[in-house]
Amino acid sequence: MSTVAIIQARMGSTRLPGKVLMDLAGEPMLARCVNRTARANRVDKVVVATTCESADDAIERLCCERGWNCFRGSQDDVLDRYFRAALEHGGDTVLRITSDCPLIEPEIIDLACGTYESSRPSADYVSNTIDPRSFPRGLDVEVFSFEALRTAWTKDQNPAWREHVTPYIYRNAREFRIREVRCEADWSNLRWTVDTAEDLEFARRVYEYFGDDLFSWHHVLDLLRARPELALINNHIQQKVAV
C-alpha cells in the first residue's frame, strides 16, 4: 500500500495573500511544510496540489526547482483536486495537509497513519481535528482511504463541503468508519497555523529561534513554557469556520 501526503497550496488567501511563499528563516513557508511532512516515516510520497490559476504558476515553479511532485487542479473544488492528485500519484492511503501549517509534525503524522493502519479495515478516516480538539491548531492531519475519497468525490453535491475536501466523510459516520487521534494533554488553545499577519509573526519567531525546520512540536512547547509571551502574538485570532 502506498501512502501519499497531499499538501494543498495556493497563492490566494482572504486574510494573507501569497502566504505560502512568504519567508520563514530563509525558506518559503511551503518548503517548511513539505520538508516536515516528508520526514514522517509512514509517508511514501508528498504531492503539492495547487490550482490552475496563473497566480499559482509560482508554486509550480518552486516545485520544479525543488524536485517536488506537483499537481494542478480546480481552485474551488478542492475535493476534485485531491481525488485527481491521489489518482495520478497512486495513493491507496491519502493524507490531507494544508500549506498554512509550517509547524506540521512528523511524529503526529506517523501517529495518525499508525492509528489508521492498525485500525484497518475497521476505519476509513482518522484525524486529530475532530472536536473537541486536543492538539494545537496547525498540527492538523487527516488520513483516509482512496476509496473513501472516491466515494466523497462521487456523492458530495455540496460546493462548500467540496472546498474543504473531507466534510462529507466525517459528517457521515453511518457510511464511513471514523477514528480520532487525541493528545494526552489539551493543547487546543495554542494556535500554530498561519492565516493572518499575526500568525506569520508567531511562526517567524519560532523559526528564528530554532534556525531550521528540524525541531519537534515538543521543542515548541518547551519554547512557549520559557517564553509564554510568544503565544500572545496570535492567540486572539479567531479561526474561520470552514463549513
Q: Which pLDDT belongs to residue 235?
A: 93
Three-state secondary-structure class, residue 237:
coil
Cell numbers found for residue 123: 476505519
**Which class for 154: exposed (0-12), middle (13-18), buried (19 or more C-beta within 10 A)?**
exposed
Residue at 242 is within a domain: no
pLDDT at residue 240 greater than cutoff 80: no
Q: Please report which confidence band the pLDDT of residue 136 belongs to, taking 50, 70 and 90 as the band edges.
A: very high
Rounded Cα distance, 51 and 38, in Å: 21
Q: Please report which confidence band the pLDDT of residue 243 belongs to, taking 50, 70 and 90 as the band edges.
A: low
Unique residue bearing C-alpha cell 466534510:
167
CA 78, 12, 167 angle in degrees (round to 5)? Answer: 30
Rounded Cα distance, 41 and 38, in Å: 8
More confident: 31 or 241: 31
Residue at 241 is within a domain: no
pLDDT at residue 1 greater than cutoff 80: no
Distances (CA, A) of 73 to 9, 50, 192: 11, 6, 27
Residue at 31 is within a domain: yes
Mean pLDDT score of the chain, rounded to an integer? 96
With beta carbons less than 8 A apart as the criterion, state whether 169 and 203 touch. Answer: no
Range of the domain at 216: 3-233
Q: Which pLDDT belongs to residue 172?
A: 95
Going by the DSSP 8-state scheme, the letter that residue 33 receives in this structure is H
pLDDT at residue 148 greater than cutoff 90: yes
Interval 36-73: pLDDT, tens: 999 999 999 999 999 999 999 999 999 999 999 999 99
> Does the pTM exceed 0.85?
yes
Interval 90-106: pLDDT, tens: 989 999 999 999 999 99
Residue at 68 is within a domain: yes
Q: Which pLDDT belongs to residue 121?
A: 80
- Between strands 142-145 and 93-98, the pairing is antiparallel
Q: Which pLDDT belongs to residue 15?
A: 87
pLDDT at residue 170 greater than cutoff 90: yes
pLDDT at residue 122 greater than cutoff 80: no
- Mean pLDDT confidence for 173-185: 95
Residue at 63 is within a domain: yes
More confident: 122 or 186: 186
Rounded Cα distance, 37 and 45, in Å: 10
Q: Domain count of the chain? A: 1
Rounded Cα distance, 212 and 209, in Å: 9
Cell numbers found for residue 36: 516536515
Please tell me the number of Cα atoms within 13 Å of 24 on its side-chain side. 30
pLDDT at residue 14 greater than cutoff 90: no
> Which residue, 115, 122, 126, 140, is CA-closest to 169?
126
- Mean pLDDT confidence for 20-25: 97
Residue at 218 is within a domain: yes
Cis peptide before 121 (omega within 30 of 0): yes
Tell whether the torsion through CA atoms of 104, 108, 114 and 117 is positive or negative: negative
Other beta carbons within 10 Å of 156: 21
Rounded Cα distance, 94 and 71, in Å: 14
- Mean pLDDT confidence for 190-217: 97
Residue at 240 is within a domain: no
Q: Which pLDDT belongs to residue 231?
A: 96
Cell numbers found for residue 147: 476509496
Please report, for the domain that includes residue 123, its CATH number.
3.90.550.10
Q: Please report which confidence band the pLDDT of residue 33 belongs to, taking 50, 70 and 90 as the band edges.
A: very high
- Mean pLDDT confidence for 141-152: 98
